[in-house]
Amino acid sequence: MHPTRLVGSNFYVYDATTLAYLFYPETLLFRRAEVKVETKGEWSEGQTFFDDRSRPKVNTNAWVALEVNNSKLLAALVKDLRKI
């Protein structure tokens, strides 16, 4: 895991997408997906994956963030930081 360091501070963000989801969910595009964790080593042991092909999803078990509206997220973040 590689944290993101906010410029000029000692505040490290270990998963910026999680913070975006918590504070600015409107900046993310979500889709339903069937998420699995590979445990047998058949494809990639210990990794999380989902099928993103365009076909019906029957056994969905999660919402997956696929895109971030960068300009909207940055604008919301800057607006909130100015309040501090």
Per-residue pLDDT tens over the stretch 22-39: 999 999 999 999 998 888
What is the radius of gyration, based on Cα positions, of the chain?
16
32, 78 contact by CB (below 8 A): no
Per-residue pLDDT averaged across 70-83, rounded? 90
pTM (2 d.p.):
0.66
pLDDT in tens, 41-70: 887 777 888 888 888 878 899 998 889 898
- The pLDDT score that the predictor gives to residue 26 is 95
The domain tally of the chain equals 1
- Range of 75's domain? 4-82
**Displacement of CA 4 from its chain's centroid (Å):** 14
- Between 45 and 11, the higher pLDDT residue: 45
